Structure 1
């Protein structure tokens, strides 16, 4: 049975250090649109002919497809084992997981502006039990409008907006924060996301990975500028 990999950072490490061969087994059109850096494309039906020619049977091979519900990569991994490849790994969450985490990408659509590309990674952070006055001071010093509340694992717990926090004295972040804020994944295209933010009056939205960990904060002003630049380049 081929080994299964769920950790995208482990896939990233193995490929970046040239310790494994990366293969997307989706149809060519999907691969050409966007794929993981360094991946080659061998469709499931072409494995018997192309794998022995394009892959080194003595080196580890990582295969992936669309997502955890797609069965192409486990089938491809099993087939590669039958073809004599000894070290075969199935990156189970696949391309959807990789893109949602804002990791590098290649392909024809790789330059499409996404939420993760524009989100500010240098975000003011605070914790639930932190004194609220300290957070207000931090926002005053940095000129920021909001801080993101996270736990020890960087999972988003809430938002503290300056205009709301400044009206309180004493207490902790947990007393004032907005719990359970709406978040978006890093692979959300900017134009429709900006439209939703404008319609709902949302000034900023946290961008998180599939585990709910903070990647950055996307402010509407930054999204507007990015979309405007992209439109100017097109025209």
Structure 2
């Protein structure tokens, strides 16, 4: 069986490198992006069995329609990488309501809806991997150091990870984990970041490729567990 993976925010940066890493493993990949031209262009850059899917993660209807389109291409999805992210820098007292809502939609609501939709088939098929791309900036153990909208919603994504992992039936080859890519040289991370997008993507690809009995309900950075 060739695993089928879906990667949100797969059209650039860390997401694109996750797509490429999964293709190198021989997986089929659904590359999800919001903009049609950028998504299709990113898919054309990749080598392997990859298909672009346009999906606006702030829209419930768009998520539902996108999943239907994705399943029509390859069938049941075995691996979900919730990678898409947004960054707003304002303090709590200056944060526009719409920016907070957008951060919540992209970092929490969309991963929750995609998980709700795709997890049942993973459990039925006895194979599934869900990887939530989070951040140390959303870690209570590391002081929630990110900007408020980012830190709060990434912390909520971590909570979603823990709660979902705890609900996996015993004995099923399905795992749910979060990972922090570190400070990566991307449009969001900036030019001073020390890690390349490929280095930032490594742990997500590693988690996706875990054999049966791999970690479940944990938070990783550079393939090592870290505290929530």
Q: What's the TM-score, normalizing by structure 1?
A: 0.29
**Larger helix proportion, structure 1 or 2?**
2
Q: Which has the larger radius of gyration?
A: 1
